[in-house]
Amino acid sequence: MMRSLYSGVAGLKTHQTKMDVIGNNIANVNTTAFKSSSIVFSELMSQTTQNASGPNARTGTGGINARQIGLGVKSGAINVNITGQGSTQSTGNPFDIMITGENFFVVSNGLENFFTRDGSFYVDGGGNLAMTSTGYNVMGWGVDPDTQDIKQDTVAALRIMSEANLTYPPEATSRAYIAGIIDKNDKDVTSVNGKVVNLNFFDNLGYSYTAKLVFRQSAENNKYSLEFSKLLDSKGNEVELTEEQKQTLMGGTRRVQDNPTSIKLADGFAWNGDGNLEAGGEVKVYATGDTARPYSTIPKDEFTALSDDEKEAEYQKALEEVAAAYGYEGSLEEFLNLQIDVSDGVGDPDLMTLGDILADTSMSLTDKLGTGAESPSRVYYGYDVEFDSKKGTLVSVGGNSTNFKFNLNFNELGDAFGNFSNIEVDLSQTSMYDNKGTSTVGATSGDLDGLGTGRRLGKMIGVSIQQNGMIYASYDNGMTKLLGQIATASFANASGLEKAGDNLYSATLNSGEFDGIGVDITANGGKMSTGQLEMSNVDLSSEFTEMITTQRGFQANSRIITVSDTLLEELTNLKR
């Protein structure tokens, strides 16, 4: 039989194989991250009819080349353009990830690792990041619980939606600062109630509170007291604190502020001969004569029949009535802290607070205060704040001229405040300037660098993936948390990977083994882009051109068979 006949057959087979490769490329033109293949032909073998001979110096004849007749063609290799980057397809899905570079995602079916460029991922019912098509887990590295940094160890499934990651723990506020302008002509600053500054903060459980602090001006316009007023919970209800606790909260130091104040009985009020306070002929406060409490809002016989708690409540009502009668309605504490001279006028003054006088059964308020008196000073627990009267800058806080900070000592208030943290408050950004009678001073949780702010419990509101594959969760309390990092694999010969179907590859001896740890994608200059997928790198124009040349090659080889057959036919016809 003619050798050309079999050469033509070999040519048909190899061109058919090439057409299969082209057909597969075109079929996968829209397959995510598909890598096109190409085939290389090689000569099958040759039949040597005469070996080569060398030149003969003795006879003077030259050498003769070998005579060889080729016997056809075969598929030499099928190469995958695995390093060719596909075009970008935008999806808007944050879990769609495209790799730029030559690395591969690592995924696992639970038994073995596979490698893919298909970054179409989702979060499954177990909270794991997984491939959309196969459900295989995306592999990566977890976070070291001690350092909160990525620990590059043997890759494991990335469980990003675990119960621990769905919330961010609360934290108590530990620092704050008061900043702004105190204008000495501000009516709030000069009033009895002072300039109120609200400090919002959190405890260890994430509950929010508001501490009301008050600036009050002294006789010298450049000196102020900074005092604690009240503590409110998140619903606006006042948290009960004893006077001792309030004092402890502000450092426990008893201070005196020079603040000459005229104390006058308001119009319509009078003290009668029985020591009772009247208004419009109606008795407001009774002088009960009780040794524990000298005043009440009900007659003595009714007062003595009350329980101790009820007597305490009646006494507080009476104090409020007395304070209101002297123009301090709603400012009982301020009224009780005023000092007056209780001496007989001989020798040095004997200053005593109105609160002490009212609580002392041996002293008569009507004798010492009557319709009016002068208060040279007031007692408070807090910190004195002094400004430079010429420059308006801060001079000292609590007598300290180098450190303008103070503490709110919540930890020292007892077990009921065990979930609170002491708060260090910085006043260094406070100044005293003319601001058209308006003070801008305010309190902010956290220091000037934003540290120690505290926070409530945070709920996860989003997940983002960085270019290096690090996965961060964001929470509605403003915090972010590192959840893990997507690992990648890099091979010395990526073309040596073996296709395993479903856009997956397996490692082979010629690709190089996967070490089980992987590499950070940025180590090789690559990156990850979210909301995008890598498209197929099939070039249709090249494939159609290859299809044409393949068709022509197939036709030519079929003609070889046809002509060879004709020659054989002529040969068989010789017998006729």
Q: What is the CATH number of the domain that holds 439?
A: 2.60.98
Tens digit of pLDDT for each residue in 339-388? 988 887 666 778 889 888 888 877 777 777 888 888 889 899 999 999 99
Q: Is residue 375 assigned to a domain? A: no
Both tokens assigned to 297: 């809002």
> 231 and 284 in one domain?
no
> 362 and 276 in one domain?
yes
State which residues form the domain around 285.
266-370
Q: Is residue 432 assigned to a domain? A: yes
> 366 and 270 in one domain?
yes
> 344 and 316 in one domain?
yes
Q: Is residue 259 assigned to a domain? A: no
CB atoms within 10 A of CB 55: 10
Q: Per-residue pLDDT for 1 more than 60?
A: no
Confidence of residue 573 (pLDDT cuts 50, 70, 90): confident
Domain count, the chain: 4
Backbone angles phi, psi at 333, to 5 degrees: -60, -40
> 548 and 520 in one domain?
no
Q: Is residue 280 assigned to a domain? A: yes
Q: Is residue 415 assigned to a domain? A: yes
Element (H, E) at 428: strand 423-431
Q: Is residue 278 assigned to a domain? A: yes
Task: Using the structure block, give the residue that is written with the tokens 């409020």.
Answer: 320
Percent of the chain with pLDDT over 70: 98
> 273 and 366 in one domain?
yes
Contact at 8 Å (CB) between 203 and 420?
Answer: yes
pLDDT the model gives residue 243: 85
DSSP 401: S
Provide the whole-model pTM: 0.73
> 302 and 245 in one domain?
no
> 514 and 543 in one domain?
no
**One-letter amino acid identity for 556?**
A
Domain boundary among the residues 370, 401, 434 is at 370
Tens digit of pLDDT for each residue in 89-140? 999 999 999 999 999 999 999 999 999 999 999 999 999 999 999 999 999 9
Strand partners, 442: 179
Q: Is residue 454 assigned to a domain? A: no
Q: Is residue 260 assigned to a domain? A: no
